[in-house]
Chains A and B, each alone.
Chain A
Amino acid sequence: MTAEKGATRGHAAPSDAPAESGVDRREFLKDLLGTCGAAAPVLWFGAVCVPELAAQGQSGEYDPEDHLYGMGIDVAKCIGCARCVVACKTENDVPEEEHFFNTWIERYVIREDGEVEVDSPNGGIDGFPPIRDDGAVRRTFFVPKLCNHCDAAPCVQVCPVGATFTTQDGVVLVDEEYCIGCRYCIQACPYGARYMHPEKHVAGKCTFCYHRLVEGKVPACVEVCPTQARIFGEVEKRATPLARFMRFNDVQVLKAHLNTRPKTYYANLDGEVR
């Protein structure tokens, strides 16, 4: 099996599209001006509507352009205790019922005949039932799953209203006030990392605990992981725990063939993990 490092990206990509369409619109309006002669009001509204290209500074000292976040997961260290799942639900007010998870633990059981069984009862919070027919197991291990915060995120691509987006620091977020609840992004995510929030009726997902990042803290799941199976840091800087993780491990990403370019990197990942 070849180890594959997820490619990193340039910062410019997300903002290209609106910028180009803005210029096109301006030229279009100028041409229009010559033909019908309704000069003043059109120009005035055009100026109002062309998006401001200069990014407005974020409030406070936190500068998103200084960061590009990613997470490392060492599968060989995960003990399946699901403290991360509990912490995530608490920190982010995720509904406590089953099926709503920003992060969850999957148990893989690979049988002697090559058959693969995956289960995640209540995300792993209540523990895992004993493996059926214990004798025939070849390998078994836990795999923490969460949003991969892809560089080329399919969920961002398909959102019809621009309610889900990639921030300048590389985190995929949902604008809860703007989401129309169409579920298109839930269909598009190849990692099953999104759900429909039962009360808010908007898409829910992992935010890398964005509210903690701007305070300089690590996500709640990383904070509570007792075996340091989760590593958080910067993708493009050298002096950060994630860079060390990527130097000392053979790192893979999930479903690399889809070219989503995830920023959740797995070490010691079994080839059967999807």
Chain B
Amino acid sequence: MFAVAIVGLLVARSLLVPDTFGDIGHYRAAAIDSIAAHEAKYAGHQECSLCHRPIADRRAGSNHRNVTCEVCHGPAAGHVAAPIDVQPDAPRERGFCPLCHSYNPSRPTGFPQIDTVTHNARMPCVGCHDPHAPEPPVPPTSCGACHGQIASQKLVSHHAGLECTTCHEAPQQHRLTPRQVRPTKPVDRSFCGTCHAGDIPDVPQIDLRNHGQSYVCWQCHYPHHPEAR
């Protein structure tokens, strides 16, 4: 009787447990194959450059070198399979580029951003900028064109009257390749001291020898919006 129950249990188990269950681990090994069989919709940038060599080369040397084709043109596996019948998107409307390039305070500083309301309103982006090799058509003349948040803070601060170049030396090349060529920053206390440890009237004065010990000034005071009166 007991043996029959055991045999019955084993028969039921062999029928109910799927074929490949436990082959690799505590799961159905065949599931991996069915998941791996899912069809890819993004072809990958290597596929695009096989046919579109000139554009790929132009992009490869530009500021968009890390922006792969399918970021803007959408999934292109269908186009790779049937180049004539399936055409990928080519977004030209003004709303598309600001997905990345509209000003947003949460975006990292230095990423090129524009105010969509005031930046050449209603003009399509591709009229001035080549999306495959984008450059600013005119290098920005004011620092605030890119460093908007700092510029607007400085504007309402006690440092509003100072030019950015009072404290930073910005090489001309910084306007064209902002991340490769960086502006300088003050490095020591005596720099702030040229204004704040002299005897300039109406400017807050401190004694560098006993103020703030060994800290540098900008560890306590934010130079773009200093709070001291």
Name A residues whose Cβ lies closer than 8 Å to a Cβ of B. Answer: 14-15, 17-18, 32, 36, 38, 41-42, 45-46, 48-49, 51-52, 55-56, 58-59, 64, 76-83, 87, 90-92, 107-109, 127-128, 131, 134, 137, 140-142, 162-168, 173, 175-178, 207, 209-212, 214-215, 217-218, 220, 223-228
Say yes or no: is B58 at the interface (Cβ < 8 Å to chain A).
no
> Considering residues B7, B32, B75, B107, which has the most beta carbons from chain A within 10 angstroms of its beta carbon?
B32
A87–B66 CB distance below 8 A? no
In the bound complex, residues from chain B placing their C-beta under 8 Å from that of A214 are 36
- Closest-CB distance, B99 to chain A (whole angstroms): 5
**Additional pairs, 9, CB under 8 Å, beyond known A209-B40, A225-B71:** A36-B2, A38-B6, A41-B3, A131-B106, A142-B107, A162-B21, A173-B35, A211-B40, A212-B42
Q: Which of B23-31, B138-146, B157-165, B190-198 contacts A (4 or more CB under 8 A)?
A: B23-31
Partner of A76 from the list B29, B41, B70, B108 (CB cut-off 8 Å) is B108
Partner of B75 from the list A55, A87, A131, A166 (CB cut-off 8 Å) is A87
Q: How far is the CA of A32 from the CA of B3 in the complex (A)?
A: 9
Given contacts A177-B31, A211-B36, A223-B70, contact A45 B14 (CB under 8 A): yes
Q: How far is the CA of A165 from the CA of B33 in the complex (A)?
A: 14
B106–A107 CB distance below 8 A? yes
Q: How far is the CA of A48 from the CA of B67 in the complex (A)?
A: 54
| CB-contacts of B1-22 with A (<8 A) | 2-3, 6-7, 10-11, 13-14, 17-18, 20-22
- The chain B residue with its CB closest to the CB of A86 is B74
Q: How far is the CA of A77 from the CA of B182 in the complex (A)?
A: 17
Given contacts A17-B26, A91-B75, contact A58 B33 (CB under 8 A): yes
- Closest-CB distance, B121 to chain A (whole angstroms): 19
8 A-B pairs with the lowest CB-CB distances in the bound complex, closest first: A51-B22, A38-B3, A165-B27, A175-B31, A45-B10, A211-B38, A226-B67, A140-B106
B3–A212 CB distance below 8 A? no
Q: How far is the CA of A212 from the CA of B23 in the complex (A)?
A: 23
- Closest-CB distance, A249 to chain B (whole angstroms): 15
In the bound complex, residues from chain A placing their C-beta under 8 Å from that of B33 are 58-59
Q: How far is the CA of A97 from the CA of B29 in the complex (A)?
A: 31
User: Can you list 30 A-B contacts with CB-CB less than 8 angstroms, sorted by A residue number?
Assistant: A14-B25, A14-B26, A15-B24, A38-B3, A41-B7, A42-B6, A42-B7, A45-B10, A49-B14, A51-B23, A56-B23, A79-B107, A80-B104, A127-B99, A131-B106, A137-B105, A142-B107, A163-B27, A165-B26, A165-B27, A173-B35, A175-B31, A177-B31, A178-B31, A210-B38, A211-B36, A217-B44, A223-B42, A225-B71, A226-B64
Q: How far is the CA of A42 from the CA of B21 in the complex (A)?
A: 21
- Closest-CB distance, B213 to chain A (whole angstroms): 24
In the bound complex, residues from chain B placing their C-beta under 8 Å from that of A59 are 33
B107–A18 CB distance below 8 A? no
> Considering residues B7, B11, B64, B105, which has the most beta carbons from chain A within 10 angstroms of its beta carbon?
B105
In the bound complex, residues from chain B placing their C-beta under 8 Å from that of A80 are 104, 106-107
A212–B40 CB distance below 8 A? yes
- Closest-CB distance, A40 to chain B (whole angstroms): 10
In the bound complex, residues from chain B placing their C-beta under 8 Å from that of A175 are 27-28, 31, 35
In the bound complex, residues from chain B placing their C-beta under 8 Å from that of A173 are 31-32, 35
Q: How far is the CA of A142 from the CA of B108 in the complex (A)?
A: 9
Partner of A81 from the list B11, B13, B20, B99 (CB cut-off 8 Å) is B99
Partner of B71 from the list A42, A56, A224 (CB cut-off 8 Å) is A224
In the bound complex, residues from chain A placing their C-beta under 8 Å from that of B100 are 79, 81, 83, 226
In the bound complex, residues from chain B placing their C-beta under 8 Å from that of A109 are 106
Say yes or no: is B37 at the interface (Cβ < 8 Å to chain A).
yes
